[in-house]
Amino acid sequence: MPNPKLFSVTRRRLLTGSAQAAVMIGAMHYVPALAQDTSRAVIAQAYDAQPRNLLAFRGGNFPWIKNVFETLTYTDPETFEPQPELATDWTLSDDGMTLTLNLRDDVTFHTGRKMTAADVKYSLETAALPETASQIGFIARSFKAIDTPSDTQVVITFSQPTSNVWDLFEETPIIDKETYAEREDGSKVIGTGPYKFVSWTPGAELQLSRYDGYRDKDAAKIHDLDYAIIADPTATIAAVRSGRAQIGYGMTPRDVIEFDRNPMYTIVSTAGTIYPFGVNVEEGPFDQKTVRQAVGYAIDRQRIIDQVFDGAGTPTDLFWSPSSPGYTEEQANRYSYDPEKASKMLEDAGAKGAKVTIVIPAIPANRSIFEIVQNNLREVGLEPEARVLDVAEYDQRQVAGDLGQSFILIHGQVGFQTATLLSSLPSLRKGNPSHFWSDEYETLRNAVSAASTADDQAKAVTALSEYMLDEAFTLALLQAPSPSVVSADLEGVSFSRRGYILFKNATYR
């Protein structure tokens, strides 16, 4: 017979046990101390920093790099005009082939050494090297010469008029040639910005602290910046909600829903991502232009935005920023959702029932977009199926321009000038996975690069867009912003149009 004394849960025991547990937990009461420390801000970001790739765009560098490094110019988010940063002013020769930049003379690196024109020349030349992997290094590679007549003047001679040189200036941090080789492991990451790089634990955290030698003594009022690398979105939400982090950087629209309309947080949307649908024009049925255009009419972009991005995003057939010269609403919405038209075009082309393999990377947004695209294409008579690739394999095949019959890509270069995107985006450059290239395409691209005035640029971009829409080898589908959550305790934190966080003027309320 069981012994009742061995185990008996009486009410008194239960209450006593509960009370003891409550006291124990109470004794461990945790107040999120970091949130109340106004000398420090914590930023949660999904991707690790990559000090090796200072001159290439890396998601993990966006939240910190522009606090440690400065650039020659930046683009005004309102007017889109270049504004002085390390360059004070500039002059373009009448023929558009020579640009003379004057530099500030009060800039020092974090080592204390004065920055000179030689450092600017070194930075631009390094950006041009293939191993630097700068997406816009091709602009620097096209320079005929970089001269430094004095410590505060740089003269660049172009081999052809280069309207997108401002993208290069804004995206190329001025690096210290004496320590650049030691940046790889994070031991010496030396810039000229208001914060200096203190330490980096790969995959875990990054620490910056105020640079006392910075020329503007009122800058960097928050003394320390800690970056926590948190790959899991749920953990990022927990970090912000529990008060550990004041900023959750680069979250998805779905993740920020719970911060919406909460007065303790502000949601900031910047730059973002383009999700193009591309086809290989050498493989049937996409070797027929009519079929490619039919696919354009078949896809319901608004539904993708509503269901995948919770309404945040712009449906568009174009890769360019809506505010850029030559971007027209008519062209952006050329392929408005019209399944009946798409169905008829496919029937006329004899492509009904064609099997279509769509390659997608194993990224949640791309998978969700595929679900809708698959449904849309089935409605009009195609038979789509997914081939999901691990991101590493997908990237490898994208670089090789070998993604198969059709594919849903992901590009993060929103905000660049059209001339830059033409050569930096894998979808559009030579060797693209659509295997599309023609003399007319090349001529129209060159016209965009050579256009020196806004009017000329607008005309050239419109003409190129018209051609690309007609050929329909790749359609942007949509541009989705990248939201970040900022605690209401912070003020003065700004985001550049490309999504960099700037803490120069940040303070606690």
By CB under 8 A, tell whether 29 contacts other proteins. Answer: yes
By CB under 8 A, tell whether 190 contacts other proteins. Answer: no
Q: How far is Cα 120 from Cα 101, in angstroms, rounded to an integer?
A: 10
- What the block records as the tokens of 299 is 């896809």
Toward other proteins, which CB reaches closer, 90 or 394?
394
Show contacts of 94-100: CB within 8 Å, 24+ apart. 96/158, 96/161, 96/452, 97/157, 97/158, 97/160, 97/161, 98/155, 98/156, 98/157, 98/158, 99/155, 99/156, 99/158, 99/165, 100/153, 100/154, 100/155, 100/156
By CB under 8 A, tell whether 185 contacts other proteins. Answer: yes
- Burial call 142-160: b when 16+ CB within 10 Å, e when fewer: bbeebebeeebbbbbebee
Residue in 235, 239, 238, 272 with CA at minimum distance from that of residue 253: 272
- 484 DSSP β-pair partners: 268
Residue choice 28, 81, 218, 329 for contact with other proteins (CB under 8 A)? 28
Site for other proteins in 467-496 (CB under 8 A): none
Toward other proteins, which CB reaches closer, 454 or 488?
488
- What the block records as the tokens of 444 is 């129209």
Residue choice 156, 206, 245, 451 for contact with other proteins (CB under 8 A)? 245
By CB under 8 A, tell whether 10 contacts other proteins. Answer: no
By CB under 8 A, tell whether 218 contacts other proteins. Answer: no
* Residues in binding contact with other proteins, number by CB under 8 A: 73
Helix (H) or strand (E) holding 301: helix 301-308
Q: Which stretch binds other proteins (CB under 8 A): 73-81, 94-102, 154-162, 226-234?
A: 226-234
- Provide the phi-psi class of 408: left if phi over 0, else alpha when psi is between -120 and 50, else beta: beta
Toward other proteins, which CB reaches closer, 238 or 349?
238
By CB under 8 A, tell whether 202 contacts other proteins. Answer: yes
Q: Which stretch binds other proteins (CB under 8 A): 1-9, 88-96, 447-455, 482-490?
A: 1-9
Q: How far is Cα 297 from Cα 382, in angstroms, rounded to an integer?
A: 13
Site for other proteins in 282-341 (CB under 8 A): none
By CB under 8 A, tell whether 211 contacts other proteins. Answer: no
Residue choice 89, 131, 329, 439 for contact with other proteins (CB under 8 A)? 131
SS3 label, residue 271:
strand
Residues 6+ apart with CB under 8 A from 269: 312, 481, 482, 483, 484
By CB under 8 A, tell whether 244 contacts other proteins. Answer: yes
Closest approach, Cβ 9 to other proteins, in A, equals 7
By CB under 8 A, tell whether 242 contacts other proteins. Answer: yes
Toward other proteins, which CB reaches closer, 232 or 383?
232
By CB under 8 A, tell whether 389 contacts other proteins. Answer: yes
Site for other proteins in 399-438 (CB under 8 A): 399-401, 411, 413, 424-426, 429, 431
By CB under 8 A, tell whether 231 contacts other proteins. Answer: yes
Site for other proteins in 33-62 (CB under 8 A): 44, 48, 50-53, 56-58
Asked whether the beta carbons of 110 and 192 are under 8 A apart, the reply is yes
